[in-house]
Amino acid sequence: MAAGDLIVGPTYPQYEYNGFLFGSGTDILTEKVKGLLTNAELKTTDEERAPGSGWGDFGGVQDYKARHITFDLHVLAQSVVAMENYVEQIPGIFIARSIPIQFVWQRTGKTKRFYWAKPEKVDFDSDYDLAHLKWSGSIMLKCDDPRKYSLQEFIDALIIPNGLTTIGGNVVNNGSTDAFPLLEILGPCTNPRVQNVQDSNHFLRANLTVAAGQTLMIDVKSQTLALNGVDYSNYLSNDSNWWFLKPGVNQLTYTRDDAGGPSTCNVHHQDTWV
C-alpha cells in the first residue's frame, strides 16, 4: 500500500504517517494542529539579500528553518482491548528515524499533499482518563525540507516526431515555489537538450547518444544523470544550468541533434508549495 492510500474519507481532514491513519472519522481526533499550513520561516541569521533580488535563483532549504508540525490528539477507543492496542502501536509508529518518510494529509475539497517528515517528539501520559478509554497526548513531526508537495505526480510528454529535431510544450506547476523536474528521455536521440524559457532560458544538455530502447534520466533534485540505470553525470555539458519548474506555466523545448525516429521526453513533477 502506497503512502496516502489509507486516506479515503468521507470526512476530512485526515492524516497518514507510516501506515497509521488519524483525524476525522477515526478513533484518534485532532484537537489542534500547528505548523501544517503556515509558510515556512526564513532563517534570521541569513545575510541580507540585495534590493529587488527576492528569493534569488532558488529559495532552497538553506534559506528556511525546518518546519515543525505539532498535533494535540485525543484517542477515544471503543474497548479496553482497542485502547491497549493504541498504547502499544502509537509509540512504535512515531519512533525516531534518521531518514524522513512521507506524511500525507487531505482537507475537504483539496487533493492529497505531503511533507518529508520524521518524528521529533511523542508525548502520551498514563493517567486517569486512559483507564476510562480516553487518552490524550501530542506528536511533533520535523520537516528539514519545509516544502509541501502534491501526492499526485504529473507527467507531461514532449514527443519529437520522426524526422524532426525539436518540439515545444507547456508544463504547469500549480504550486507556489520552484518544483524539481525529473526528465525521462527515451531514445533515439543524440545530445538531448531540454530548455525552460521561464527559468532564464536555462537548459540541460547531455553529450551522449541515447539509442532506441534506452532511457536517460536527468534528476534535477539530485543533480544526476543515469543511462539505463548507470551513472552518466559527467556527460552533462559544461554550459548546462540546473533549472526548475517555476510556479505557473513553463514553456519547455526538447531538442536533439539527429532527425531519427520519434523520441520522447517525459517531464515528471509534483506541484510544490512553501
pTM of the model: 0.85
The closest alpha carbon to 103, from 92, 90, 112, 91, belongs to 112
Let me know if residue 178 belongs to a domain.
yes
The answer to whether residues 25 and 142 belong to one domain is yes
pLDDT digits (tens, 9 = 90+) for 46-56: 555 544 444 44
CATH number reported for the structural domain that contains residue 74 in this entry = 2.40.30.200
Question: What average pLDDT score do residues 5-20 get?
Answer: 95
Q: Are 209 and 190 in contact (CB under 8 A)?
A: yes
What's residue 55's pLDDT?
43
Same domain, 175 and 259: yes
The answer on pLDDT for 182 being more than 60 is yes
CA–CA distance, 274 with 178 (Å, rounded to integer): 9
Please report the pLDDT score of residue 244 as a whole number: 96
Same domain, 133 and 172: no
Number of structural domains (the chain) is 2
Return the percentage of the chain with pLDDT > 90, whole number: 72
Does 1 reside within a domain? no
The per-residue pLDDT of the chain, averaged, comes to 90
Question: Cβ–Cβ contacts within 10 Å for residue 128, how many?
Answer: 7
Please, are residues 88 and 66 in contact by the beta-carbon 8 Å criterion?
no
What pLDDT score was predicted for residue 108? 93
Range of the domain at 89: 14-150
Tell me what the mean pLDDT of segment 145-154 comes to.
95
Same structural domain, 145 and 72:
yes
Residues 145 and 160 both lie in one domain:
no
The answer on 163 and 58 residing in a single domain is no
In a shared domain, residues 261 and 166 = yes
Q: Which of 90-99, 177-186, 200-209, 213-222 has the lowest mean pLDDT?
A: 90-99
Per-residue pLDDT of 101-145, as tens digits, reads: 999 999 999 999 999 999 999 888 776 666 667 788 899 999 999
Is 112 part of a structural domain of the chain? yes
pLDDT at 57 over 70: no
Average pLDDT over residues 168-189: 97
87 and 161 in one domain?
no
Q: Is the pLDDT of residue 266 over 80?
A: yes
269 beta partners: 154
CATH code, domain with 234: 2.60.120.860
Q: Above 60 in pLDDT, residue 148?
A: yes
Q: Clarify whether residues 141 and 161 are in a common domain.
A: no
pLDDT level of residue 221 (50, 70, 90 thresholds): very high
Which stretch of 21-25, 126-130, 222-226, 259-263 has the lowest confidence by average pLDDT?
A: 126-130
The strand order across the sheet containing 248-255 reads: 166-173, 248-255, 193-196, 202-205
